[in-house]
Amino acid sequence: MYDKITVKWASSDPNGKFFKTLTDKTEIGVKGTKDHPVTGSLTIKYVGTGTITADLDTYNGHKYEGKACQATLFPYTNRCSSISLTSHPANPKAGDTIDLSLTSTTLYGTPLPPDTNIDFSSNTKGTFISQKGHKSQDTITAPIKDLPLKLNTKQEGTITAQINDKSPLNNPICKSDLAVKPLPEETLVCKELTPKIFEYPAVANSPKATDLKPNKIYEVSGYSTYSKQNPNSAVDYSIDEHYGTFLKLNTNNTELDPAILFTILNGISANTLTPDTLETLKQHYKGLDFSPTFSNVPDNQTVILLTYDLSESTNISVLRMRSTGFFNSECDKSFNIAFRPKMCQSLVLDTIHNGAFDPSQDSILTLKGDFADHQGEIEVKVLGIGTLSKLGSSYRSPTIYFTKDEIKDASTLSFVYNKSPAYDPTKDTVEIVAEAVGDPKLPENQCKSALRKFSKEETFTCRSLEITNPKNPWDTKDSDTKQLFEINVETTPKGHEQDLYYHWQVDGKGDFAKDLTEGVLNNKLGNFDEGTKVSVWASKDKNDPKSASLCSDSIKAKTTTAPQFKKLVYPTGYSSQADSIINIGSKDSSTKKYKSLTYALIFDSGTEKSVDIKESSLSNGKIDGNQGGYLDFTDMTIDAVVDGTKTILLDTDSKLSDYEDNYKCKSGKINLCIEGNFNTAVENFKNGKAITFNNIEPNTRIKLEFQAENLSKIDN
């Protein structure tokens, strides 16, 4: 330890002053420079700026000649000491669009200057948007004066703000992070349960059952849609045990064992399917089980439902399908069992060979239909000449009756029309009428049928002829090798359809069983293919030419074809570059070439009759790029080509109401049309929603084109 030390003090500030005492406010400071330093003790007071040097001068009265005892104090420089990043709303979550601001402090205790650049970065897959509209993904630099800065976050992550490293006030510690939290776990919500119920065995195009019937086998399945993916999606099934049960197969194969199916079908045909018969069946087939419930069945897996034979009752809800674990009405469905009253359902009088009724000869006639449950009798009578008799009976009468016992469990009844020797086809009209009688609950004319043969003297005309089967359009995919054709004919006065000849004509490939039928309203066609055209026309004489046709109809075969859709994007005016890499100019380009893109959405309908077309990348009339740029929707046209003829349906460069008058879908409109108000349709399309087209004819091409201009500029 040295008793006495002196130090030479100097400053680079010509105005800086040293004070030898620390508390004497009357002392006058002395300037100290490198050439004229101030000699003082180890402690000295200094007022000023610049660099201060201290050199050891003496110690214990000895002059110091060395260089080691020397110190330098550099001037204190102002720098950033802290920044704090904030957002509105606070505590942002993934998917939020937020405003970013910050507060700052320097070493001097003042905020950073307004022109200080701040570097922002984000790993939220979002896009930064400056106050000037400049967009940038992941990173952006902005001065403090241009805050707040927008960021539309896409996922959880971190936003970081840091003073730019080229700022004179840069300090590595000036950095702030802001967390973007994940969205709260979305609650799983069942949105809709879609049931599928078909009579067994279900085949292609089988109609769905809306109500259950007694004494039936059904294939039942369902699937649910949810607010988010549900890997455990399943359906619970239950039926009132008094009305039916589920057959548990313990396999995804819905094909029943032939022996089991035979027994069940026998029970159904005999109207004896009951819990007792099923219990007996279970004893014969080991492993077979029945239950009124079937729980946690995976989506779209089929279960077999059996409904029992039941006495007449009112309709009641018996089958319940519920998305497993959910109880809201959208995912909890009930189905009635529709009890059929014990009465005649249908009755059809016909000849045994389904031919025309001819009173000039003895004929076997049949009664067919669904009349086994009729609670009375069936009356058959002749209006005109001739008599009736039951098969095997010699008793003849103008009227015969089939008793309740005779019609019980019957699906067909036969009897004989006995001709009259006095029959004159030129003068006599003969009509046979069959009717279910004796049941006061039976609606009028529900079970009544007739055959007529009018005299040739009676005048009539064919009012209409319509092919009712197959349905138009006739899809050959829905047909077997033989196609049954059926026609519906109306005459004035009524009842003369059996007095007409029907000519069955084929244009193209195909052969009818008969080219000409008398009074017969059906025929079978074989060896047909796509493009076969069938015409049916009626005449009073079998030798009449087609020019004498009283009424006619035709239908053409086709095969359903799947629609096709494609999308092309190319610089406007340069469609040849649709398959090339696209480069387009920015809004500051000196040339207009390639500054606009054309999006062409092309739909080839096949046999589809309606379609929704949208561009999902559009939002608020813009398509955002993944590098900060965007395209701006400018205009749109829609046209359709049908049979080689092009029609413009919509053009935003023209008055939309003019197009709307002609091509908006309206009640009764049968031609191609667009749903809804056209202005609304365009605005919806600009926001990524669909435009709906209806009444599309087969093999129509719909082309929707819109232009999008590049109005952004991307930083180099």
Q: Which amino acid is at 624?
A: D
177 band by pLDDT with thresholds 50, 70 and 90: very high
Question: What are the residue ranges of CATH 2.60.40.4060 in the chain?
Answer: 346-452
User: What topology does CATH give the domain 80-180?
Assistant: Immunoglobulin-like (2.60.40)
User: What is the Cα–Cα distance from 37 to 33, expressed in whole angstroms?
Assistant: 5
Binning pLDDT at 50, 70 and 90, where does residue 378 land?
very high
User: What is the total residue count of the chain?
Assistant: 716
Q: Return the pLDDT at 95.
A: 84
Cα separation, 499 vs 556, whole angstroms:
27
More confident residue, 185 or 42: 42
Q: What is the DSSP string of 511-547?
A: EES-SEEES--EEEEES--TT-EEEEEEESSTT--GG
Where would I find the beta strands (DSSP E) of 12-107? Answer: 17-19, 38-40, 45-47, 52-59, 62-63, 70-73, 80-88, 97-106
At 574 the pLDDT is 60
Evaluate if residue 263 carries a pLDDT over 80.
no
Torsions phi, psi for 277 (to 5 deg): -65, -35
Contact assessment for residue 270 and residue 229, using Cβ atoms and an 8 Å cutoff: no
Please name which of 313, 308, 239, 319 lies closest in space to residue 274, comparing C-alpha atoms: 308
- For residues 431-453, give the mean pLDDT: 88
Task: Please report the pLDDT score of residue 604 as a whole number.
Answer: 92
- State residue 123's pLDDT score: 94
What percent of the chain clears pLDDT 70, i.e. is strictly above it?
Answer: 87
What's the half-sphere exposure (Cβ side, CA atoms, 13 Å) at 154? 10
| Average pLDDT of span 267-278 | 61
Task: Tell me which amino acid residue 51 is.
Answer: T
Residue 69 and residue 420: Cα distance in Å, rounded? 152
pLDDT in tens, 65-107: 888 899 988 777 788 999 999 999 999 998 888 999 999 999 8
Least confident of 1-5, 121-125, 169-173, 604-608: 1-5
Give the residue with greater pLDDT, 606 vs 3. Answer: 606
Indicate the burial class of 368 (C-beta count within 10 angstroms; 0-12, 13-18, 19 or more): middle
Per-residue pLDDT at 635 exceeds 80: yes
Number of C-beta neighbours around residue 243 at 10 A = 20
Question: Which position has the higher pLDDT, 685 or 250?
Answer: 685
Burial class (CB in 10 A: 0-12, 13-18, 19+), 247: buried
Two structure tokens written together for 577 = 């570059």
pLDDT in tens, 228-237: 888 899 999 9
Bigger pLDDT: 207 or 50?
A: 50
- What integer best gives the mean pLDDT of the chain? 84
- Per-residue pLDDT, 251: 46
Spatial contact of 518 and 501, defined as CB atoms under 8 Å apart:
yes
pLDDT of residue 573: 64
| pLDDT at residue 716 in the model | 44
Numbered ranges of CATH 2.60.40.10 in the chain: 80-180
Is 101 in contact with 87 (CB distance < 8 Å)?
yes
**Lowest-confidence region among 210-224, 307-321, 498-512, 521-535:** 307-321
pLDDT at res. 241: 86
Range(s) within the chain of domains with CATH label 2.60.40.3450:
461-558
What pLDDT score was predicted for residue 396? Answer: 95
Tell me the β-bridge partners of 162.
119, 175
pLDDT over 80 at 314, yes or no: no
Which contiguous run of DSSP H or E holds residue 680? helix 678-686
Task: Give CA–CA dist 537/516, Å, rounded.
Answer: 10
Closest CA relative to residue 385, chosen from 335, 435, 425, 347: 425
CATH topology of domain 346-452: Immunoglobulin-like (2.60.40)
**Cα distance between residue 198 and residue 209, in whole Å:** 6
Decide if 252 contacts 330 (C-beta within 8 A): no
- Higher-confidence residue: 339 or 242? 242
Q: Which residue is listed with tokens 């004494």?
A: 215
The span from the CA of 429 to the CA of 228, in Å, is: 72
Confidence of residue 654 (pLDDT cuts 50, 70, 90): confident
Q: At what angle do helices 258-269 and 275-284 cross, to 10 degrees?
A: 160
Q: Please report which helix (H) or strand (E) contains residue 552, including its range.
A: strand 551-558
Whether the pLDDT of residue 185 is over 90: the answer is: no
pLDDT value, residue 256: 55
* pLDDT one-digit tens code per residue, 461-497: 888 999 998 887 787 765 567 888 999 999 988 878 8
- In this structure, which amino acid lies at residue 681? A
- The mean pLDDT value for 496-502 works out to 87
- Using H for helix, E for strand and C for coil, what is the string for 682-699? HHHHHCCCCEEEECCCCC
Contacts of 47 (CB under 8 A, 6+ apart): 16, 17, 19, 29
Which two structure tokens, joined as six digits, stand for 459? 């005048």
Task: At 714, list the tokens.
Answer: 């991307």
CATH of 461-558, one of 2.70.150.10, 2.60.40.3450, 2.60.120.10, 3.40.50.2300: 2.60.40.3450
Residue among 355, 372, 375 at smallest CA distance from 363: 355
Contact 395, 416 (CB under 8 A): no
Q: How confident is the model at residue 580 (pLDDT cuts 50, 70, 90)?
A: low
